[in-house]
Structure 1
Amino acid sequence: MEMIKAHRRTMLKWLAALTPLSLMPRALAASTDDIKHILPTVTDTVFSISVSVEKPRLQLQLLIDGKAVKGQQKDSRGRFWSFFADDLKPDNTYELQLSDEAGDLGQSWPLKTFPDRNSDPKSFKLMAFTCAGGGDGFGIPSLQFFKPHAFRQRLFEAGLAKNPDAVIAIGDHIYWDLGGKEQPSVLKRAKWLKYLTRWKNYGSFNRDEPVLGTNNEDVLVRIGDEQISNLYGTRFKSTPVYFVSDDHDYFENDDATPDIVTFPPDNFSREAHQVVADLYYPPLPGAPVPAWNRAFGTLTYGRLFEASIFDCAGYLTVGDDARLIPNVAEEWLIHRLKQSPAKHYAMVPSHPFGWTAGKWREWYPDVVAPEGFTGVVLNELFAESPGKMTTKAQKYFWQKGWWNQHQRLLDALVKHRQGSRMIFSGDIHAQGVVSIRESGKLILEEPVKSFLVGPVSSSDATWPSAARGCAAAEPEWLKTDELINTREVNGFTIFEFEESFARAQLFDCGGYDRSKDEDGRVQREVVVEI
């Protein structure tokens, strides 16, 4: 019987290959390939791959050059599977093929391991972007929150056309902020959002129940399917993607008011983040603690390039020893930048060095306040009172320890990494490059370049100037040189590395002014030597 099923699947695949998709019956198209998404991460010896399918399966397996790897089911129904294969050959291209109980599923595809970590590859090309989440074209005709998927996917295709060896996707991969409730809370000055959230009917969470195996799983999967699997599809299946989370991936904005402080995340927010990550994308390799592999990790490409990647939201602390990353992670990060043999080294925080948007959870105390005001300011989205960025007013519940940690990390980077070292990050919905010369009392004899790599999904209501009333700017406690003007545009950055050469290409895909009908294609390109 299994041979008959496999034969039927083979015949269907031949028919699918010979028949234009537009002429193929939908039932036949679905039966030959209902793979929704494939996202891989690789090292020099490991493949870690996340897959989802439209219809539940009892079992999926992955053939790697003919060797079977059994899938691990990640959900309660059999739609989400992960695959882990180690002891692979470095710098080697493998052929991968998914299969289920009926035979081959979809077409085979290539995936390559990185070069041996002790080797000296000649070149490395890296794509980076941020803020790809959000509902498909979510908004109303006069005010759009997130770009349609078609816009974002053209941006992705433009980046993949540059043939990167790997990608770093910096949070936020999900936007559905709950404000500690079961559905997104209604902002005081934007009550019309209530109708939007009802229109986008993902459903309601029950925070007293676990995520998997309850109605919570259905709600979460509706969100994740739209914002991740439908967006990425299988276009990155041969390009490793390193995902790191930020605040919205915990189903919260980083808010602090007398009524609610959203971070550190509560148990439900932490579990929801973990389940989304487990279902949709692979963990980060090289984490300082195995259980933290959704928030901290390392990208190592031989001895040519290394990036230390870290989440500045999920493990933050407040109080006397406040930090945006915990002490263990800070020690790991400083150890890596000291010990890494890489010719080019990058720190990749989920929240940027060198810019402020006046948000609560920043390294910096800057906040948007009325001119001349010196009291305490609540940092609210879409606040109606005008103001400008200042440190004279007090940002409610901002922690000086976050700045102290910023200083320790920057000081370590300057002291222990000479030559090619950089910082690149996301979160703020803009693109630009600065060179940091001074940070408080810290004078940088050799300035550090910092990059905002560019968001993917931002639209009318999510630019800093709309959401905060003020564009991203230089923090008052820093002195920087602006190498590339900070602009509210969607885009991505391609980093290119060779032994004695490094540069960044910033690709502007527009999207700020919808009247221009920009569709995700590249509008402008600028180059910065590192």
Structure 2
Amino acid sequence: MYDRRHVLRGAAAMGLGTMFMGGVAWSRPTTPVRAILPSATHDTLGVKVLLDTPPSSAPVLKINGRAVAARKMDADGYSWGFVQSGLSAGKPHELALADERGKALRAPWQLKTLPPPDSAPDHFRVLFFTCAGGDEAGGPDGYLPVTVRRALFDRALSFSPDLAVANGDHVYWDLDTALKYRRDPVRRAQTEELYRKIAWIDQDLAFDSETNRRSVNTVAARQIASIYEDRFASVPLIFITDDHDYYENDNAGTWGYSLPPRPFIFGLQQQTQALAYPIALGRPDWGNAYEAGTVETLKIGKLLDLAFFDCRRGWSTGPNAGVLFPKAEEFLLNHIRNSTAQQYFHVPSNPFGWTAGKLGEWYADGPSESSAFHNDKGYWQQGWFEQHQRLAAALGAQRGRAGISISGDMHASAISKISRSGDIDLSANPIHTILPGTIGTATQGFPSTVRGVFPWHPSALESEDVAKIEERNGFSIVDVYPDRVTVKQFRWRPPEPVAAIASLEPYASYTINRPA
């Protein structure tokens, strides 16, 4: 009789994401390349390549005919990273991928570097979305089928964005919060059954044990690679982490706080990142990768600065509480004050401007008495809102630039303007807050269906809706010009026909003019 360890050892010879502990195959089993996830700056290209089966030797990526050094990104050899600097800015570059024998693994393609730092682009287009993860085996109230998520991506990519930003929740596979602390025993048992069928993570073993590596590989295969595949090969990607990316939800109880990530779940997140996130090229050099890994910036010539930040890893409690590390907050405040770009976006994993009564939000608001969901808001920290206030003040204090925040986490689409945040008067330069839309949610509204509450504006804010919040799937196309930013939101939700996605038109359109 085979024990589980024997089965897993034998599975190492199988293709990534093939039939594994009841799991399903990758979406394209006849193609050796399972996903291509690129990133870019003005002079550097990064490419993450995921393969179905570990090769005997490293694959070969050539940029403009010259081979780029390959880096094995995971212990088993499913993922390979390539970074080439010193390239001409703002130019398309020819990429070709082959195996160690020179056999093409894919048709050649082009990937463009971003504009030079001293250039003055007159237009740049960014695709924003959030919460693309989730296993389609999670049931009718769980996550959209992979094919539907691909359809949403394909419609978004039909608008030819220059950059795509995936803001958090790339995977949903919560451990303690799903198996021990949240919901009722029946739901926890159902979750455990699902996990054991597809990808069981054993916390009695090391996070990087063979068992857990195989499970992380399967989760990444089913929730990331299966939807991205190589459709973004010519569109640079930014991935921001959020709570579920650490294999937990943002909760607390007598047992403690689920975040910041304990070593085991941080190890799982790092494995997932190495395996299936695009290579981050814009991290600050602090000599502390743990803290620096929560921030990334990108500059588009003189036109646009973007600051992306994870509001989960830096959780702290007490008198100086924050959701960002102090160094990350200082960096972000200095970055916005020192930026000379014509436009500036804050892109946090945690939404500015709305609440669903969750513990980990910036705001003190909790769920209503009628909410069916467990309320752990008593563990919320006042310092989290005080940190929000410092960021809000910096956004509102900009001269000659609108305050713009495009957030993750909330499974909805919306646009509003914040004219007051606590005691901060923002009426002279309101913060335009955008929820870009979710890719993976399959419920008839989240958080309404699961948490029993509809998202609302926190009591500490004075806000005006521009595009009313809707719990629908979708994405936002943001066009950046020197004098304005135009936001187009696309929305869809079951039971609307899947075929309608291919011809989605903007549900809402809004222009943010640059102040004089």
Q: Structure 1 length normalisation: TM-score?
A: 0.86
User: Identity over the aligned pairs, expressed in percent?
Assistant: 32
1:281 to 274, 277, 280: 277
1:472 to 452, 455, 464: 455
What's the CA shift for 1:189?
2.8
CA contact (8 A) 1:432 1:453 kept: yes
What's the CA shift for 1:285?
2.9
Alignment-derived partner of residue 116 in structure 1: 116
The amino acid across from 1:431 in the alignment is S
CA contact (8 A) 1:257 1:396 kept: no
C-alpha distance after superposition, 1:387-417 (max 9, x if no partner): xxxxxxx922100000000001111111134
1:449 aligns with 2:432: yes
Alignment-derived partner of residue 156 in structure 1: 153
C-alpha distance after superposition, 1:15-35 (max 9, x if no partner): xxxxxxxxxxxxxx977x410
Alignment-derived partner of residue 8 in structure 2: none
What's the CA shift for 1:498?
1.4
C-alpha distance after superposition, 1:203-241 (max 9, x if no partner): 322335433352110011011100001111000000001
- How many Å separate the matches in 1 of 2:400 and 2:385? 23
SS at structure 2 position matched to 1:248: helix
- How many Å separate the matches in 2 of 1:198 and 1:113? 46
2:44 to 35, 43, 46: 46
Alignment-derived partner of residue 311 in structure 2: 312
C-alpha distance after superposition, 1:124-154 (max 9, x if no partner): 0000000000002520xxx421010111111
- How many Å separate the matches in 2 of 1:331 and 1:284? 20
Alignment-derived partner of residue 18 in structure 2: none
Question: Which is greater in Rg?
Answer: 1
Q: 1:400 and 1:41, CA in 2 relative to 1: closer, same or farther beyond 3 A?
A: same
CA contact (8 A) 1:151 1:520 kept: no
Q: 1:293 and 1:202, CA in 2 relative to 1: closer, same or farther beyond 3 A?
A: farther
What's the CA shift for 1:307?
0.8
C-alpha distance after superposition, 1:481-504 (max 9, x if no partner): 011100100110011011212210
CA contact (8 A) 1:355 1:472 kept: yes
1:502 aligns with 2:485: yes
Q: 1:323 and 1:196, CA in 2 relative to 1: closer, same or farther beyond 3 A?
A: closer
Alignment-derived partner of residue 215 in structure 1: 211
C-alpha distance after superposition, 1:268-298 (max 9, x if no partner): 1111111101111124333233624542101
- How many Å separate the matches in 2 of 1:491 and 1:447? 25
- How many Å separate the matches in 1 of 2:45 and 2:183? 47
Q: Structure 2 length normalisation: TM-score?
A: 0.88
C-alpha distance after superposition, 1:96-124 (max 9, x if no partner): 11122221222111100001012111210
The amino acid across from 1:230 in the alignment is S
2:419 to 432, 437, 441: 437
SS at structure 2 position matched to 1:402: helix
CA contact (8 A) 1:316 1:323 kept: yes
1:224 aligns with 2:220: yes
Alignment-derived partner of residue 366 in structure 1: 365
Q: 1:128 and 1:70, CA in 2 relative to 1: closer, same or farther beyond 3 A?
A: same
CA contact (8 A) 1:430 1:452 kept: yes
Alignment-derived partner of residue 191 in structure 1: 186
Q: 1:493 and 1:30, CA in 2 relative to 1: closer, same or farther beyond 3 A?
A: closer
What's the CA shift for 1:92?
1.1
- The number of equivalent residue pairs is 477
Alignment-derived partner of residue 147 in structure 1: 144
Alignment-derived partner of residue 529 in structure 1: 511
Q: 1:136 and 1:485, CA in 2 relative to 1: closer, same or farther beyond 3 A?
A: same
Alignment-derived partner of residue 36 in structure 1: 34
What's the CA shift for 1:70?
2.1
Alignment-derived partner of residue 172 in structure 1: 169
The amino acid across from 2:388 in the alignment is H
Alignment-derived partner of residue 131 in structure 1: 131
Trace 1:10-409 onto structure 2 (pairs within 5 A). 33-57=31-55, 58-103=57-102, 104-136=104-136, 138-139=138-139, 143-179=140-176, 184-185=179-180, 187-189=182-184, 191-192=186-187, 194-200=189-195, 201-288=197-284, 289=286, 291=289, 292=291, 294-370=293-369, 383=373, 395-409=377-391
CA contact (8 A) 1:138 1:147 kept: no
CA contact (8 A) 1:255 1:262 kept: yes
What's the CA shift for 1:326?
0.8
Gaps of 5+ in 1: 1-28, 372-379, 386-393
- How many Å separate the matches in 1 of 2:119 and 2:390? 31
Gaps of 5+ in 2: 1-27
C-alpha distance after superposition, 1:81-104 (max 9, x if no partner): 111111111011111111222212
C-alpha distance after superposition, 1:33-52 (max 9, x if no partner): 41000000100011111111
The amino acid across from 1:46 in the alignment is T
CA RMSD of aligned residues (A): 2.2
The amino acid across from 1:310 in the alignment is F
The amino acid across from 1:222 in the alignment is T
CA contact (8 A) 2:136 2:142 kept: no
SS at structure 2 position matched to 1:368: coil
> Which structure shows the higher strand fraction?
1
- How many Å separate the matches in 1 of 2:119 and 2:167? 27
CA contact (8 A) 2:70 2:80 kept: yes
